[in-house]
Structure 1
Amino acid sequence: MTKDLERDLGLFAVIAISMGAMIGSGIFILPGVAMAEAGPAVILAFVIAAILVVPAALSIAELGTAMPEAGGDYVFIERGLGPSFGTIAGLGTWLMLMLKGSLALYGGMFYIDFVRELPTWDLAIPVLDATLPIPGVRALGITFAIIFIAINLIGVKQTGGIQSIMVVVMLVILGVFVAATIVQVDGANYDGFFDEGIDGILTATALVLVSYAGVTKVAAVAEEIENPGRNLPLGLAISLGVTAFLYALLVFVLVGVIEGDQLVGTEEPMAEATEILFGGVTVGGIPIGGFAVGAIVLAALLALVSTANAGILTASRYPLALSRDDLFLKKFEYIHPRFNTPTVAILTTGAIIIFIVATQNVDEIAKMAGAFQILVYILVCGALIAFRERDLEWYNPDFHTPGYPWVQLFGIVSGIFIITQMETREIVGSIAIVIFGFLWFKWYAEDNIDREGVAKGLARREAGKQFVQDTEEALQDDDRYEVLIPIRQDVTREQEDALIQMAAPIVSRRGGRIRVVRFDEVPDQVPLDTAAEDVSEADLEFEERTDELVRYLEVPVEVGEIVSHDTRHAVVNFAERTGADLILARQEATSRLGTLFGRDTDWIMDHAPCDVVFVQHEQRVTVEEIAIVTDRSPFNDPLKVELADAMAHVLDARVRFLYAVGEDEPDELVETIEDYHDELDDLVDVPVESTIIRTDDSVEGLSRELESADVVMLSTMTHRRLPDLVIEQRSDRLAAAIEQPVLLVHSKQSRRGTFLRPIVERVLFD
């Protein structure tokens, strides 16, 4: 059984990933350091650096739409220029990402140190200052590095939602900073704009190049992007344009509001500027300087800590990819059996980052990272030329770089020129990585591989995509009723069997089919293609047990497997692609606190393109009575009746409607409910009983009446976090009070309407 990789990154996620990787050291650390090289013309350095990145970004966009594979620039270079250049690119990118992560770790700690040195520190946190002194900047950086290494080792999941929120928070804080400070720009600060000459500007450009390293980071997850032909190039263009404009605007403000001697050389320019401008400002007698500095420090730490953690995560993928392609030591291919993370790659990456933080200065780290970055960008432009000029039949990108080949030639020539303008240390480092990569390939890898250039092994991904492709093609000519049963990795044979047993009569009655799909969720630290190629004993056991379970069924059953970083997105996307009519999934009982933090089932209910049924207490039983607890829901009740009728018709079972009214409710309400049950009865072909219970405790009264039922159907709706923390849904309380299998039914129609619908439904039907 092949595994498909789930595309669940949209345009906003592409922009968030790219901008989140760029908005960091470029504005929070480097302006002061770069101004020491270029003076006020440091603004031009940021603009020129952005222009130098454009050819590589356009090339990445085209290559990513032609080969939306996990791995990004390393894969493109290795496929286009051959494994020798791929080795150089993989090692160079690995080093560049480690340097960028080190820069974020080291530079971010200056902001903590800045807060500690403020005059208000002793007054604000006297106990912490007296008894728990903060260690030095390097020690802080190493401490955070160790924490992030541990996080990546155990595979704690990062989410696109958190990344997006962080980007929005940073943009808001930086936008407020610009709006509050741009009116205070002093033109005199720009006197002597070109005093440092073109050499100073070029040196500063090489220094700040690392600011834009994140623009192509998203290419490493190209295989996970929805509609890559549109979202990849558009996302790269938007993120690069917005970030370049933001950098230029912020540096313009920093130079204009701070005296040159105060800005030059400082490692925390944003905090320094905020303290100078707002340190003594009060509004209505309230000092706001501390709040302003705190907001800037928060934005800096969000950006830099996120960049550092992402640096370890992303960097560790490169030795893993090199190892899997037989270009590096095989021990880097090791995946921890429990945490499913590349342990050796993460530990090695983390150790090198710790060494860099402990021994190098900010400007040295930034310059060396920029040198390796430019080297990789030169190779990316060369790889695109190789693909274009070989006229390959399969090379059919959805996006074509405008200005080819002049844009790529400009990228190569300008990149070489910038490297020659760097200091001796960076030039030697760039030459050394090229020589080392070539010698390593000759000594270690050349005899292990028999491929060269663009013609090699792209077919390995095609088999992995076949399951969904076949499914979609089949559905074009087939409108049968589809039930999707998503199976998580921890589902047992008995639980899977119970779900299939419940789906079978529904499908049999309607003449449809069941799709049993296992959704494997892997940590962000592991590329999806790596996980898809790993066939474990659990995979084989799932396939074997599913084949055995469906032998006794008289309905068509198809089995597949999908690998993703986010199961809930994968389930919804698959249901939408295949035209599923019903998602039938198991659900564990969730505490109120769990509801507060958000449940995957709620997200699925809000986004699924079809009806959704969650099963609790699933077990294989003989079904003689199906009980439906009605609640006058105009959408869920008819769906419950429809499903119960299909099950009862095939299983030769009876259906019973139940409704609970208060002891003091008038008889007119009972008559209304009886009439309502009669209307529902008209939708059913099997025998139906109606029971109306008078009780002041509906959960207790209903659970007592449900003891004779074999299957219970309840309505459910999306949990609204805080409201459900205060008042738990009756369906949750009732499901917890009984032992029988419970089907929690949610009609797709119930999502329609205004934001008031959940409130109205809670009042009327709960």
Structure 2
Amino acid sequence: MSDEELAKDLGLLSALTIGIGTMIGAGIFVLPGVAASTAGPIVVVSFVIGGLIAMVNALSVSELGTAMPKAGGGYYYVNRALGPLFGSIAGLGDWMGLAFASAFYSIGFGQYLTTLLPIPDILFLSDIQVGALIAGTVFVGVNYIGAKETGGVQTVIVTILLSILALFAIQGWLSFDVGTLLSDGGLTPLGYGAILPGTALIFVSFLGYAKIATVAEELKNPGRNLPIAVIGSVAIVTVVYAVLVSILLGVVPWPELSQTAPLTQATQVAFPGGLTGVAVTVVTLGALLATASSANASILASARINFAMGRDRIVTNWLNEIHPSYATPYRSIVLTGAMIIVFIAMLGQDIEVLAKAASVLHLVVYALMNAALIVFRETDPDYDPVFTVPLYPFTPILGMVLSIGLLAFVGQRELFLSAVFIVVAFGWYFGYARNRADGQGLLGKHILDRGGDLPSPVVDAAASVAPDGTTEDMETPTTMVALSNPRTEHSLVALAAALAKHDSGQLLAVHVIQVPNQTPLAAAANQRERISEMSGQLLANARTDAEELGVPIETRTILSHEGLDEVFDAARSHDVDRLIMGHRGTRLAGSRAEGTLDELMHNLPCDVLVLDERGFNPSEILLPTAGGHSSDLSAEVARALQQTVDARVSILHVTDNPPTGQNFIEGWATDHGLDEAELLVETGDVETAIGRAATDRTLVIVGATERGLLSRIIGGSLTLSVLDDLETTVLLAERPHDRSLLERLLG
């Protein structure tokens, strides 16, 4: 079964509401009473400090997310920068942290549910825990069968919640009493030293913004929308928390504020008698909606993290098996759900433990993410974020210090839990993941590459934790094949497999199913049986062909409103080395693989090879060259086919000066490792010479022209004018390179 992907369809508003909706549930509806009992009225400052710490981390999340909009969020960044050991800690920490957070949200749901319905105690479980278990089971079941909060639904939920909270804020402000706020000891009855323990407790209220990064692959224009959504959601929620918690404490004295349903209690006090019942019901329903939304979003995010870890072999990909009917990673969801149920049953009578455990694990991940940002900046020349944190490196260093420093205030039980978790994560890596993970982190590679310049203990430590067989860079070259037609599938895969085998690489076969703009992608995804039948056989044939040729292959089906553009986006997102696609269905601009507008606005994502539909027989190759930029790629392809399938290569150069042409072609062949090729020097018309030389050949490989768009529109194109008339199969090769707009227009 091939993996399926959705194109980028989440807009800025949807991303913003994902963060706000996840955070707003805990901070207002669940924690104010518990937090006030810990810190007193000064707990408002605890919320503000929590927001500031979250904001510093949000800046780093935004930079990493715009550089690498990948599923998995924090795990992906840490694993790539620091290596699979720290990737194991980050991935398992994020996963367990989300399970604790989901249990916490479920308890919050149970607290408000018991104010509406009588729920009995069962055995050692309180009525709140029973309600939470019911809720948690429902949330897991909803994710199991595949219903999820889309961006549109989340926007509606957040709009409803903010409307309810705005009404409460208005009426609560009318009932606000400074005397109530300052009663029982003033602002700091428990001392200023209670502020940071309060922050450690309520930090779980700020975890939602990081979930935006886990859906970064689905964001439209992530370079712009992701930082706005991440930073904006933290800023909005911090203000909302500060205002509403202040109002709560000015309506109900802090020692009396309910630790189970604080907003319901404050609503009963703030609203006049005739409206009390309606207001309480509305607020309670809002609390149920908020906590349900937060729990569901956390379970959904955990499945994405498991997918990313399975892809990197940190955990078994068995967890990511897709349900045949519901098309969900049901095993991952069931395992996460089982942990949530256990946490509710064993720890649900002390909500502080759940809140702090979730905070601790996420704080560890945030510290590692800040470290990852520094590693990317210092070691990766290809790291190119659209958004960059201000005051680098001060900002990520501050993020690490604040995240680790806050751990000192969470309490001994939670610190013990975090220590046990880190030990377990270390054990998991050395006992399972190390023998399976196939990628070295940038930090480890940087240390090992400079072993002679660094202290030997540092080098020895990096080597001792490196994945087996990856003390050097073992990144596998990837050739992507864009498939659309069963008639051309075998030829494209055969070409791709020959090149991948030469590079000791792997294949990625992608089938882009273009959906009309009038049809929402989510609606198209619901037609899963038809899509699977349409795409499954095509990709199954590709897998069979690749396996027969001895080349590893992965497959993807992508739903998109675009065609060629989505192929290029997929090549970029999967970081492939070359892209192979068929001639029919591509919008060739002159003799280039880009469309006309693409050529003006963008560069190709990688090396691109376009094969026509006349089959693939590389036994006799003609390689015309005039020494252009993309002719280097043509030579690489010809050399690879020569070495893997014993192709006979003939190089053709057309010139008005044969002696000079002979010197050129001999030097060019030597420079490109084609000394055994037959060399042909012709005079006269280029198109005629190519047509004549191609007569006895089975494949013509041509590098894309360097001529600009307007010059080719006016003067025609060599590639289209002569090669379309050949009976020989044509392979167009183009290597990306930077060109100014003037060069693109005029050549």
Structure 2 counterparts to residues 523-542 of structure 1, below 5 A: 539-542=535-538
8 Å contact from structure 1 (residues 28, 270) kept in 2: yes
Residues in 1 aligned to 2:282 and 2:91: alpha-carbon distance in whole angstroms? 38
Identify the residue that residue 99 of structure 1 maps to in structure 2.
100
How far off is 1:3 after superposition? 7.6
Identify the residue that residue 291 of structure 2 maps to in structure 1.
304
Identify the residue that residue 150 of structure 1 maps to in structure 2.
141
Identify the residue that residue 368 of structure 1 maps to in structure 2.
357
- The 1:461/1:104 distance shift into structure 2, 3 A limit, reads farther
1:563 to 547, 558, 563: 558
How far off is 1:520 after superposition? 9.9
- The 1:295/1:417 distance shift into structure 2, 3 A limit, reads same
8 Å contact from structure 1 (residues 520, 561) kept in 2: no
Residues in 1 aligned to 2:152 and 2:304: alpha-carbon distance in whole angstroms? 22
1:244 is the counterpart of 2:255: no
8 Å contact from structure 1 (residues 99, 366) kept in 2: yes
How far off is 1:428 after superposition? 1.3
- The 1:519/1:309 distance shift into structure 2, 3 A limit, reads closer
- The 1:218/1:519 distance shift into structure 2, 3 A limit, reads closer
1:24 is the counterpart of 2:44: no
Partner deviation per Cα, 1:523-580 (whole Å, 9 max, x = no partner)? 8xxxxxxx9xxx988535247999xxxxxxxxxxxxx98635xxxxx43x669989xx
How far off is 1:331 after superposition? 2.8
Residues in 1 aligned to 2:318 and 2:3: alpha-carbon distance in whole angstroms? 26
Residues in 2 aligned to 1:444 and 1:54: alpha-carbon distance in whole angstroms? 35
Identify the residue that residue 75 of structure 2 maps to in structure 1.
74
- The 1:381/1:521 distance shift into structure 2, 3 A limit, reads farther
Residues in 2 aligned to 1:317 and 1:576: alpha-carbon distance in whole angstroms? 25
How far off is 1:341 after superposition? 1.4
TM superposition outliers: structure 1 runs of 4+ over 3 Å = 1-5, 454-467, 485-488, 517-523, 535-538, 542-546, 573-578
1:256 is the counterpart of 2:244: no
8 Å contact from structure 1 (residues 57, 216) kept in 2: yes
1:178 to 160, 169, 173: 169
How far off is 1:253 after superposition? 0.2
Partner deviation per Cα, 1:439-493 (whole Å, 9 max, x = no partner)? 21111111223421137798889948999xxxxxxxxxxxxxxxxx9667xxxxx
Q: Scaled by the length of structure 1, what TM-score is found? A: 0.59
Structure 2 counterparts to residues 597-608 of structure 1, below 5 A: none
8 Å contact from structure 2 (residues 12, 229) kept in 1: yes
Partner deviation per Cα, 1:46-92 (whole Å, 9 max, x = no partner)? 00111111222111111111111111111011111111001000111
Residues in 1 aligned to 2:4 and 2:136: alpha-carbon distance in whole angstroms? 34
Letter in 2 for 1:409: I
Residues in 1 aligned to 2:376 and 2:300: alpha-carbon distance in whole angstroms? 29
2:311 to 306, 324, 331: 324
How far off is 1:335 after superposition? 2.1
Residues in 1 aligned to 2:437 and 2:173: alpha-carbon distance in whole angstroms? 58
- The 1:49/1:108 distance shift into structure 2, 3 A limit, reads same
- The 1:28/1:272 distance shift into structure 2, 3 A limit, reads same
Letter in 1 for 2:264: A
- The 1:135/1:425 distance shift into structure 2, 3 A limit, reads closer
Residues in 1 aligned to 2:99 and 2:44: alpha-carbon distance in whole angstroms? 26
How far off is 1:383 after superposition? 0.6
Identify the residue that residue 429 of structure 2 maps to in structure 1.
441
Partner deviation per Cα, 1:309-366 (whole Å, 9 max, x = no partner)? 2222222332333233111234313222222211221111101111111121211111
Letter in 1 for 2:79: E
Identify the residue that residue 333 of structure 2 maps to in structure 1.
346
Residues in 1 aligned to 2:436 and 2:214: alpha-carbon distance in whole angstroms? 25
1:89 is the counterpart of 2:84: no
Partner deviation per Cα, 1:158-205 (whole Å, 9 max, x = no partner)? 322111000000001101110111122111233321222233111110
Identify the residue that residue 202 of structure 2 maps to in structure 1.
208
Structure 2 counterparts to residues 536-615 of structure 1, below 5 A: 539-542=535-538, 563-564=558-559, 570-571=560-561
- The 1:518/1:405 distance shift into structure 2, 3 A limit, reads closer
Identify the residue that residue 212 of structure 2 maps to in structure 1.
218
Q: Percent identity?
A: 35
Letter in 1 for 2:9: D
1:420 is the counterpart of 2:411: no
Residues in 2 aligned to 1:19 and 1:34: alpha-carbon distance in whole angstroms? 20
8 Å contact from structure 2 (residues 71, 308) kept in 1: no
Residues in 2 aligned to 1:299 and 1:460: alpha-carbon distance in whole angstroms? 51
Residues in 2 aligned to 1:298 and 1:519: alpha-carbon distance in whole angstroms? 28
Letter in 2 for 1:22: M
Letter in 1 for 2:210: T
Residues in 2 aligned to 1:464 and 1:368: alpha-carbon distance in whole angstroms? 45
Letter in 1 for 2:377: R
Letter in 1 for 2:535: D
Identify the residue that residue 272 of structure 1 maps to in structure 2.
265
Residues in 2 aligned to 1:521 and 1:295: alpha-carbon distance in whole angstroms? 36
1:313 is the counterpart of 2:300: yes
1:197 is the counterpart of 2:186: no
Partner deviation per Cα, 1:572-592 (whole Å, 9 max, x = no partner)? x669989xxxxxxxxxxxxxx
Letter in 1 for 2:159: V
8 Å contact from structure 1 (residues 2, 466) kept in 2: no
- The 1:253/1:368 distance shift into structure 2, 3 A limit, reads same
Letter in 2 for 1:384: L
8 Å contact from structure 1 (residues 203, 422) kept in 2: yes
How far off is 1:223 after superposition? 0.9
8 Å contact from structure 1 (residues 487, 518) kept in 2: no
1:410 is the counterpart of 2:404: no
8 Å contact from structure 2 (residues 6, 521) kept in 1: no
Partner deviation per Cα, 1:726-757 (whole Å, 9 max, x = no partner)? xxxxxxxxxxxxxxxxxxxxxxxxxxxxxxxx
- The 1:460/1:351 distance shift into structure 2, 3 A limit, reads farther
Identify the residue that residue 359 of structure 1 maps to in structure 2.
346
Q: Secondary structure at the match of 1:563?
A: strand
Residues in 1 aligned to 2:438 and 2:539: alpha-carbon distance in whole angstroms? 33
8 Å contact from structure 1 (residues 63, 384) kept in 2: yes
Structure 1 unaligned regions, length at least 5: 118-127, 468-484, 489-498, 500-516, 524-530, 547-559, 565-569, 579-766
- The 1:93/1:464 distance shift into structure 2, 3 A limit, reads farther
8 Å contact from structure 1 (residues 92, 373) kept in 2: yes
- The 1:461/1:113 distance shift into structure 2, 3 A limit, reads farther
Residues in 2 aligned to 1:331 and 1:545: alpha-carbon distance in whole angstroms? 23
Letter in 1 for 2:198: A
- The 1:246/1:334 distance shift into structure 2, 3 A limit, reads same
Letter in 1 for 2:260: E
- The 1:519/1:435 distance shift into structure 2, 3 A limit, reads same
Structure 2 counterparts to residues 89-128 of structure 1, below 5 A: 89-116=90-117
Deviating more after overlay: 421-430 vs 38-47:
421-430
Letter in 2 for 1:403: L
Identify the residue that residue 14 of structure 1 maps to in structure 2.
15
How far off is 1:426 after superposition? 1.2
8 Å contact from structure 2 (residues 37, 255) kept in 1: no
8 Å contact from structure 1 (residues 76, 380) kept in 2: yes
Q: Scaled by the length of structure 2, what TM-score is found? A: 0.60
Q: Secondary structure at the match of 1:398?
A: coil
Q: Secondary structure at the match of 2:323?
A: coil
Structure 2 counterparts to residues 671-682 of structure 1, below 5 A: none
Structure 2 unaligned regions, length at least 5: 446-472, 485-511, 543-554, 568-747
